[in-house]
Amino acid sequence: MTFKSINIGGRLMEFDRPKVMGIINVTPDSFYSGSRTPGCAAIERRAVEMVEQGVDIFDIGGYSTRPGADEISPEEEYGRLDRGLEVLRRVAPDVPVSVDTFRAGVARKCVENWGVEIINDIAGGTLDPDMFATIADLKVAYVLMHTRGTPATMQQLTDYGDVTAEVLSDLMAKVRQLRLLGVNDIILDPGFGFAKTTGQNFRLLAELKVFVDTGLPVLAGLSRKSMIWRSLGTTPAESLTGTTVLDTVALMAGADILRVHDVRDAKENVLLIEKLRDNSR
């Protein structure tokens, strides 16, 4: 049987079963306060815990992209990432690292200085015109996410005729651009919570299989997002059960990567879904 795969740092990552990407936020203002690790000791504790729980990929971010988040300079963003990456490479050198940034210059420094294997661009190349060429030059895997506007304006840009068709069309046009530049290791992310209403987010999830059917690995980033806690009338801190429910829907549709705050719960989810598939007729 042939599975989807990507090259990360010269190693083949095959999606014979879904992978769990653990979020490490080296920021003081990420939307879920429980994910913040502003100091080296906190980063180390979080990383060690995730390794013990079976994390497949770290995803480290130094710039909060929640609506209304403070703007920071590229220098400050890289400074935060530099401290975090030193910790990750020291305590878990064998775990692949993804860096969550929309800035090509920051991406380049992280790859060249720390050997980062994946760049996770929430802007899908729209906020830095140099990003696609930089990814091609660095020869790293790339998470291509859909959004519109900036973190400050995205929630005013939700006018779609058919949200799934338009998001898919936008992503595939960018896939073609990337392939012309020689980028082949591309992961699709429909961008839950980014320039979408709650209803549009649920529509994308219900139709996630159209992204899976492209043949590219698909990342689902649903963890503790507002589509969960607003629907339930709770808070991000109270959204673990809701996250597990929606991650299950994503896995059943064929998602290849779950990007999560809670690694243990996601790994258990993956295991149980795989048991179900292995024993179905």
| Residues with catalytic function | 225, 259
CA 116/CA 8 separation, integer angstroms: 9
Burial state string for 178-192 with b = 16 or more CB within 10 A and e = fewer than 16? beeeebebbbbbbbb
Dihedral in degrees, nearest 10, Cα atoms 236, 100, 58, 228: 20
- Angle subtended by helix axes 104-114 and 131-138, to nearest 10: 20
Coil, helix or strand at residue 163: helix
Dihedral in degrees, nearest 10, Cα atoms 246, 250, 252, 254: -170
